Structure 1
Amino acid sequence: METELLPNVRGTVQSLRSMWSEKVRDEQNILKQKLLGCGSNSQQPQKKIIKDDIKSSASTETTKIDEQPKLMVHVE
């Protein structure tokens, strides 16, 4: 049983690695396009643009967490 499971696990790990690499590559391409699109018109350095992008995604995640309904319990 273990010998059958091992190749399956290796295949799954390889699939996940390739998916992750593709995702990272896509995000890098999107970021490059953003930087190229506003590079000539903007005076902002590239590092600031990247930091702003990270901050906006972090604030979005916080907002999603805050929107969850809260449970109120009345204790007598």
Structure 2
Amino acid sequence: ADVNSFIEVVQKYEHITELTPEIMHELIEKIVVYAPEKSSGHRTQQIEIHFRFDVAVATAIADSREYDKKKKAA
């Protein structure tokens, strides 16, 4: 049942051009941002996105080295 509900909500926003707070509230249960860790002179930080309906959790690692490369290129 959760998967079907999730699919219905995702299909509703299939062609959005802007992510609004309302859409985020409907799709995401919570976002967990862990304390940053620093080693080898750079900082990493883990972020988890928990979607509603208990169907998925996305995890990302923000790395300061990647941010610094993008910042220098700009």
TM-score of the two chains, using structure 2 as the length reference: 0.26
Q: Which has the larger radius of gyration?
A: 1
Q: Which of the pair is proportionally richer in helix?
A: 1
TM-score of the two chains, using structure 1 as the length reference: 0.25
Q: Which of the pair is proportionally richer in strand?
A: 2
